Structure 1
Amino acid sequence: MSENWTVVEMLRHTRHEWLNRLQLIKGNLSMGKTEQAKRIMDEIVQEMQQEALLSNLKLYRFAELLLTHNWKGYRFRLEYEIVKGQDNLRLDDQLLTDWTRGFFDELNRVSLPINDNILYMAIEPENDAVRFLFQFHGIIENEPELKNWLFCKEAYPDHVTYKQVSENEYQIQVLFCLE
């Protein structure tokens, strides 16, 4: 999964995404489903607000990783939320990006590809740390390998917890202390 995006490639993906959304809105309006069209527009507004909050964290590599994730053919779709808006988190952008990319790659490797897998990620800044709450809805084929990857990291992140909530729902909480 190459990450050497050119400006033209980024614009192509963005244009494709927006055209799909506009076609959804237009199709719903043409069928008289104005409430559905309004719901789609509200979702777009919320997503754009989250993108703005993500960009304001001043973690540019990390933001790029999240913003382009769903274009890369992973076995799971990513949704994220910045729980509290805060500018300029004092985290090492490269370390955070490398860890998150590694986590995404490992989750991609152990998740079942024929399922509609979704990873929901909440980012919650605290006084002296940032809490990342990952909720994975889908099928994990090799849970021991994922756990091994999560807990083998000695220095970064600072703390990890893992819990299987139900048959196809997993919760992973990761804590990164601020610099």
Structure 2
Amino acid sequence: MAVKKKQYQAEHQKQRAEIDQAYTQLDEVYAVAVDALSHHRHDWMNELQLLYGYVQLGKRDKQVECVERIKEQMLAESRVSKLGIHSLVFYLQSFKAVNRSIQLEVELSDGITLADRLGTEQSEELTRVIKETVSAYEQFGGSSWGECPTLFLMVSEYEGAVHFIFEPEEEYPNPDGAWEAVNLIIQDTGITATRTEEDPASISLQVLVDSKN
């Protein structure tokens, strides 16, 4: 009887620890979401204040430029939201709120979605690879990459694969270090990586996908 009671207590403590860990992770997600929403609200307020200033000054050409910029930002966010992998969408849309050391600019071709085209394991794997590739650029760029440098991530689809192309805006100090790191990151996955001699700092990741329905 005493043995069963100890086993029950041990199992109960284990379940309690797992629940506590789940709540901690959930709280972390909520915190990131709140930061991301706050960041977006701040950005939109800046744009609206700028637009209001142009209206007050009667600068019609600047008003048009501002409206077009806002429209393009909305379209870009809409494209990201349609990627179809929730964890990846959340990472990309909350990046600016979480990471202040580099700026990630995401550009997607129209109509790209991975919804129902990758399995659950493949989707999680792709999200991890994207995250770790960004971190590799940040790590191997170091302080010599500049203050808050910009990394472009361009996503397009052709020849039966979706291509995620990473391209630093500024001159990148350690392309070979980033390249070696990315090859370790994609090891034992279905994702491949390529780069060119002309632009060794630009790395393209390719993931094969099912054709659209």
- Please classify the TM superposition score into its range, dividing by the shorter chain length: 0.7 to 0.9
Please name the residue that 1:159 is paired with: 192
Letter in 1 for 2:89: A
Q: Write 1 or 2 for the structure with the bigger share of helix.
A: 2
Is 1:96 the counterpart of 2:126 in the alignment? yes
CA shift in 2, pair 1:116/1:76, >3 Å = same
Consecutive unaligned residues of structure 1, counting only runs of 5 or more, are none
Aligned partners of 1:76 and 1:116 also within 8 Å:
yes
Query: Rg larger in 1 or in 2?
Result: 2
Separation of aligned partners in 2, 1:11 and 1:162: 35
More divergent stretch after superposition (34-43 vs 96-105): 34-43
Letter in 1 for 2:192: H
Q: How far 1:113 sits from its partner (Å)?
A: 5.6
Q: How many residues align?
A: 176
Aligned partners of 1:117 and 1:137 also within 8 Å:
yes
CA RMSD, Structure 1 to Structure 2 (Å): 2.7
Task: Show the 5 A alignment for 1:140-155.
Answer: 140-152=172-184, 153-155=186-188
Letter in 2 for 1:75: S
More divergent stretch after superposition (93-102 vs 38-47): 38-47
Please name the residue that 2:90 is paired with: 64
Separation of aligned partners in 1, 2:52 and 2:155: 33
Question: SS at the partner of 1:155?
Answer: coil
Task: Show the 5 A alignment for 1:110-149.
Answer: 110-111=140-141, 112=144, 114-115=146-147, 117-126=149-158, 128-149=160-181
CA shift in 2, pair 1:84/1:139, >3 Å = same
Letter in 2 for 1:117: P
CA shift in 2, pair 1:28/1:171, >3 Å = farther
Q: How far 1:65 sits from its partner (Å)?
A: 1.0
- Which of 171, 174, 177 lines up with 2:205 in the alignment? 174
Aligned partners of 2:145 and 2:173 also within 8 Å:
no
Q: Write 1 or 2 for the structure with the bigger share of strand.
A: 1
Q: How far 1:172 sits from its partner (Å)?
A: 1.6
Separation of aligned partners in 1, 2:83 and 2:116: 6
Aligned partners of 1:117 and 1:138 also within 8 Å:
yes
Please name the residue that 2:60 is paired with: 34
Consecutive unaligned residues of structure 2, counting only runs of 5 or more, are 1-26
Separation of aligned partners in 2, 1:170 and 1:142: 8
Separation of aligned partners in 1, 2:62 and 2:116: 37
Identical-pair percentage = 20
